[in-house]
Amino acid sequence: MSDFKALAEAVTKGDIKTAVAETQKALDSGSNVQDILDNGLIATMDEVGERFSKGLIFVPQMLRSARTMQECMKLLQPLFQESDVTSKGKVLIGTVKGDLHDIGKNLVSMMMEGAGFTITDLGVDVAPEKFVQKVQEVEPDIVGMSALLSTTMPSMPLTIEALQKAEIRDKVKIMIGGAPVTEKYAQEIKADSYASDAGSAVTKAKELLGIRG
């Protein structure tokens, strides 16, 4: 295994220029793409997510790290296919119908991507039928729904209902989150999981799919 200490440090600090240079350096020196991804980027973002969950860093720092990781991923993605990189799972995510807030959703998307999941982001104001259409098209392992307004929360059970009607509810795990959303609400609407923040969303996603570490 290569030493990705400098890369990890740059991602943690949110230093895009250094992180991208270190990623390129690792590629030039013959490091395996999966190795750079797993031990350089994913391991670092796991650590960042953990620190965020413990209150040791805050949203701006986590966003900077996530953006830095995304820039590094741009170098790696063209090489994924040829090096047979494995994804931890597919996640379809969106803010529900009537809700235009996306900061929380974007943060979850970036953290999930940083953890090695393949993300399809539907954006904001996503109608139940749009979720259904995309589930049929993408065949994700997890559907993530976000709501920042209590008035838009009812779109979550409506989306679950739409997935049931389309007979694809049992093919996906459903995770919900957002400021007014609670664990109790997740149980009431029969979602599979609730995440209170981006760091715990990654942990919950791994739990849902039986991924360790």
Segment of 91-95, 198-202, 208-212 carrying the highest mean pLDDT: 91-95
Q: What is the mean pLDDT of residues 169-174?
A: 98
At residue 79, the pLDDT reads 83
Range 73-88 average pLDDT: 81
pTM for the full predicted model: 0.79
In whole angstroms, what separates CA 95 from the centre of its chain? 13
Count the Cβ atoms, other than its own, within 10 Å of residue 117.
25
**CATH number of the structural domain 90-208:** 3.40.50.280
Q: Which of 47-51, 87-91, 171-175 has the highest mean pLDDT?
A: 171-175
Ranked by mean pLDDT, the top range of 54-58, 79-83, 189-193 is: 189-193
Condensed to tens digits (0 to 9), the pLDDT of residues 98-127 reads 999 998 899 899 889 888 999 999 999 999
According to the model, what pLDDT value does residue 213 have? 64
Is residue 193's pLDDT more than 50?
yes
Domains 5-83 and 90-208 are alike in CATH topology: no
Q: Mean pLDDT across the stretch 181-191?
A: 98
The CATH superfamily holding the domain 5-83 is Methionine synthase domain (1.10.1240.10)
Q: What are the tens digits of pLDDT across the range 141-158?
A: 999 999 999 999 999 999
Mean pLDDT of the chain: 93
The arithmetic mean of pLDDT across residues 11-31, rounded, is: 96
Encode pLDDT of 39-80 as tens digits. Answer: 999 899 989 988 988 899 998 998 899 999 999 999 988 887
- What is the chain's alpha carbon radius of gyration, rounded to the nearest angstrom? 17
Give helix 103-114 / helix 43-53 axis angle, nearest 10°.
Answer: 140
As a whole number of angstroms, the distance between CA 109 and CA 68 comes to 14
Q: Which residues contact 112 (CB under 8 A, 6 or more apart)?
A: 91, 93, 119, 144, 201, 202, 205
Domain ranges of the chain: 5-83, 90-208
Residue 175 has pLDDT above 70, yes or no: yes
